[in-house]
Amino acid sequence: MQDRENKMPNDLYKYKIAATAAALACIASAFVPSAAFGENPLILRNGLEISLYSPDDVLSMTHRDDLGRLIFELPGGVSYILIDDIDDPRIANKGDGTFHPMNVEWVLDALASIDVSNGDIDVSATVYVLPYPRSGFPTSTACGSDIFLSPGVIEIPRSRVAWTATHELGHVFQRRYAPETRDGRWTEYLEIRGIDDETKYYADAAHMNRPVEIFAEDFRYLFGGAEAVASRTIENADLPLPDDVPGLEDFFVSLVAGERVVSIVAPEPLACSLSNYPNPFNPTTTVRVALSGAALEAPGDVSLAVYRVDGALVRELHRGPAPGGALEARWDGTDERGNPVASGVYLCRVRSGRFAATSKLLLVR
């Protein structure tokens, strides 16, 4: 690759850094134990561990059955039929005549912007940005820790992408911290919110009166980023806004704060760190890894790789041992085939056993 670093005017170089630096706020470096959840989980600055599958990734997980239907099969064996024809009679609103998947970077930005009073959110989720809607499930949903973001029939505005992604993450958050039982934190939530009348608020009620949907909306409204809360409304306009309900925000914060107390009692030692210099860079940067403690003793190879922000692999830099816990590798801004990649933000990730660390790389050409 031709070295163009010295040929770029200094002002232009600074301008390109400024033009892309805003993206750095979306994702932060982190060092935490990483569960084997999805292929390339991203650990966001708020503690969320997200495995994100782009529309192209989803298409790579599909096949046609004997009837010609497009089958989307999840790693665990669950499958869905995708409707890839806008003229299918199951699609009532044809929009502008094509399907429009959500913008992956907007999804990731929305999730990274969630802030529960600066607390670490101990939640893992797999997010599928669907290229086509699922038969029987035309809208976005969350099932367990899986989030399915359905495409629109017109371009989906950024605020709606953020609203939906944050709302669906709210469902995963609820199942993690306040599962639906008639005692404990869930009952406390119903009482604080004033929705403990089971004749009006129940699982099969109108969508806006379902307690889990109200919870997800409260989560979005109270802790979502600017785009997610731009409308300053919630689905059920008959209910008071979340910030007008005494004790509601404190209740949500207490869910995460309680988990933080546990982590202080038995902290996980720092065992895996990652850095790179220079950053921003052009044309190369050096990545340094330091392992200690449990990460150093973890069985198996140490892997070091560069990914796009949507989780797609760009280049594997190392797979093998790390003698003494130290590892150094250079990345020249190319992919696995040696082709130069575009300017922008990339993620460098090291994994040793169940430990991992992620760092941002900013390539400016």
In sequence order, the β-bridge partners of residue 348 are 306, 359
* DSSP tag of 204: T
pLDDT (0 to 100) of residue 41: 77
| Nearest of 362, 344, 358 to residue 280 by alpha carbon | 362
pLDDT (0 to 100) of residue 125: 94
Mean pLDDT, each 10-residue run in order, the chain (365 residues) = 40 39 35 39 86 92 95 90 96 96 94 86 94 96 96 97 98 93 84 95 95 98 96 96 94 76 36 80 91 73 82 87 89 94 86 75 86
What is the distance between the alpha carbons of residues 289 and 317, in angstroms, rounded to a whole number?
Answer: 12
What is the distance between the alpha carbons of residues 45 and 203, in angstroms, rounded to a whole number?
Answer: 33
Q: At what angle do helices 211-223 and 158-177 cross, to 10 degrees?
A: 120
pLDDT (0 to 100) of residue 313: 84
pLDDT (0 to 100) of residue 348: 86
Enumerate the domain spans of the chain: 5-27+269-363, 37-265
pLDDT (0 to 100) of residue 204: 92
What is the distance between the alpha carbons of residues 36 and 13, in angstroms, rounded to a whole number?
Answer: 39
Model pTM above 0.75: no
- In this structure, whether the domain defined by 5-27+269-363 belongs to CATH 3.40.50.11540 is answered with no
pLDDT (0 to 100) of residue 275: 85
Element containing residue 257 per DSSP (H, E): helix 248-265
* DSSP tag of 75: T
Q: At what angle do helices 158-177 and 248-265 cross, to 10 degrees?
A: 60
pLDDT (0 to 100) of residue 257: 74
What is the distance between the alpha carbons of residues 96 and 346, in angstroms, rounded to a whole number?
Answer: 33
pLDDT (0 to 100) of residue 39: 57
**Lookup result for tokens 């999840």:** 74
Provide the phi-psi class of 144: left if phi over 0, else alpha when psi is between -120 and 50, else beta.
left
